[in-house]
Amino acid sequence: MSDEIVRRNKGAAKKEKIKRSSAELENGDSSKHVRRNRRRDVRNRRLFFLFSVAGLLILLSSLLVRPGKRRHVGIDSGRFARAKALRDAAFKSGNGFLRKTKEKLSSTLNKKHKHSKNKSQYDLKKKFRGMRYLDPRQLPPLPGEPSEEYHGERHAQRGFVGDGDDDWVPIAEALDKNVGPKVDYTKYKYSYPELVLEPQNDGSYPLLEPMLKVFQTWEQDDLDSPPETIVEVLQHFDYQDPVQLEAAVKYRNLELPFKVYNVPEVAAAGLKWTDEYLASHFDGVKDGIPQSSGMCQQSVDHFFAFHRAEIWDVDVLGDPPSLDLNWNFDKWARHSVYADAVGLPINETHYYWQSGVPKGERLRSEKSWTFVSRDLPSFSSPKPTFFGFNPPEQKGIQCRFGERGVTAATHYDGGRNMIAMMTGAKRYILSPPNACPQLGVVTSRHHPSYRHSMLNFGRVTLVGKDARSSDVNMSDREKDWLKIAGNAPTLSTVLKASEVLYLPSHWFHYIVSLQKSAQCNTRSGIQKEGNPNFGGLHDVEQCIGE
């Protein structure tokens, strides 16, 4: 009897299951679909719960932050309080120039940035004219002041994008194509020191003097009235003279700067690198040679300073030093010709073209080399040369195309640097590694200009011993740093077409483009010890706190 009951119950259950399945099929569902719907409902309930918790946490955090205040994770509130007080004091002082600047900065910051290809559209065009003094928050604390840590907000964009300025185009089109710079420094008068084939490693070479004196002798921005004769202090070796080239190697081994001239491949590249030739390689494939990459940058005036755009917080530091610009090489070159012809003033917008060759290119087939590697074989060779003397440590080739007045803030490179000038001329202001504490180098590790200086050294004459500093409308922090920099050991040299400058590891260099120019450099390894008279890696690390 019990077995019969069990069979009946099983049969009834089976009939009920079939009945339910039939009903589900009539409604357009299946058990598989039902299970899927149930899982989706569970997942949706879980997501709703998580989003509710997240929303509650955001609401609570916003209530904990006082209205009008911005909270940064890990911020050094004392640092920003000091910086804000310093900046506000700077804006309140002077003849009102900085107050007007602050109003314009605030107006810009209140506008919502546009984004394009991971870059923030940022308009500096005609923001203000006159000398651009630094926001004191961009400078490191003075010697003896407490250290300051930067914790600006990181953002997704890789750079700030400018929109350029085409007001110059009609004037440029009307110019005589044969017009050149007001002063052609490739043909100017120079005096060179007596040739010394055996270097005196006693600190007497190279001859250094206070930076203030260097710029009193020849003002940084006085490009049209240089000294009657430009006095050079670096040894000047003939590359094609075996005896002099051997002497150059001795100077290089002692980590002492020098120049070589009469370099055939550099001279040949200078003749070949016309604007048309360069534009054809930057703007597309030329005669089967791969296209070269390059980028144009703009600054509101003539001064350019290194910065990592992705961590430059405009709410903390103000305007970025430069912007990326969607110009091709041809347009940059036409503006550069215009700048030479009209003597572009320093307070007008300037443009800078940069490009590079990756270090791995020299290891590939020469058929895949870009024009820079092909035209400068001693720089790109995988075998040791006088210029690329440590191929395994070679860092590629960097090229900079400058226009009249473009000034690059001081910085150092770890690698032993060979800098070749193909066309035009640039003025290099050099300081040894042990001068680092006097150069205003940013020491906050998270600052976007870490290990670089933001100072415009040309202003040392505005705050020098005989200057009326009360007439200079800049923050006290900038004035004080310039006074310190004015005493830094320095030398000045003009590097012109067909010359190559050897810059030892960790030497600081500050660069002024005297006219339209093309320059490339390659770095070969690091010499950590440096020269005992001028310092090395240890001095720089001690300076920046590494």
Enclosing domain of residue 16:
2-64
What is the C-alpha to C-alpha distance for residues 411 and 417, in angstroms, rounded to an integer? 13
The residue ranking higher by pLDDT, 165 or 229, is 229
The residue ranking higher by pLDDT, 100 or 198, is 198
Q: Is residue 441 part of a domain?
A: yes
Q: Is residue 192 part of a domain?
A: no
Q: Is residue 446 part of a domain?
A: yes
- The contacts of residue 130 (CB under 8 Å, 6+ apart) are 97, 347
Domain end residue (candidates: 40, 64, 88):
64
If pLDDT is split at 50, 70 and 90, which confidence band does 91 have? very low
Q: How far is CA 449 from each of CA 116, 307, 316, 329, rounded to the nearest angstrom?
A: 24, 5, 13, 27
* pLDDT tens profile 17-71: 555 555 444 444 445 555 666 677 777 777 777 777 666 766 665 555 443 333 3
Q: Is residue 81 part of a domain?
A: no
* pLDDT tens profile 238-268: 999 999 999 999 999 999 999 999 999 999 9
Q: Is residue 103 part of a domain?
A: no
pLDDT at position 76 is 39
Q: How far is CA 48 from each of CA 38, 40, 296, rounded to the nearest angstrom?
A: 15, 12, 48
Q: Is residue 420 part of a domain?
A: yes
pLDDT at position 115 is 33
pLDDT at position 26 is 46
Average pLDDT over residues 428-443: 97
Q: Is residue 454 part of a domain?
A: yes
Q: Is residue 316 part of a domain?
A: yes
The residue ranking higher by pLDDT, 153 or 235, is 235
Domain end residue (candidates: 34, 64, 94):
64
Residue 292: both structure tokens together? 């070269």
Cβ contact 422:446 at 8 Å: no
Domain end residue (candidates: 12, 30, 64):
64
How many structural domains is the chain composed of?
A: 2
Average pLDDT over residues 503-529: 95
The residue type found at 93 is: S
Average pLDDT over residues 517-536: 93
For residue 359, what is the domain's CATH number? Answer: 2.60.120.10
State the chain's mean pLDDT as an integer: 82
CA quadruple 466, 468, 473, 478: dihedral sign: positive
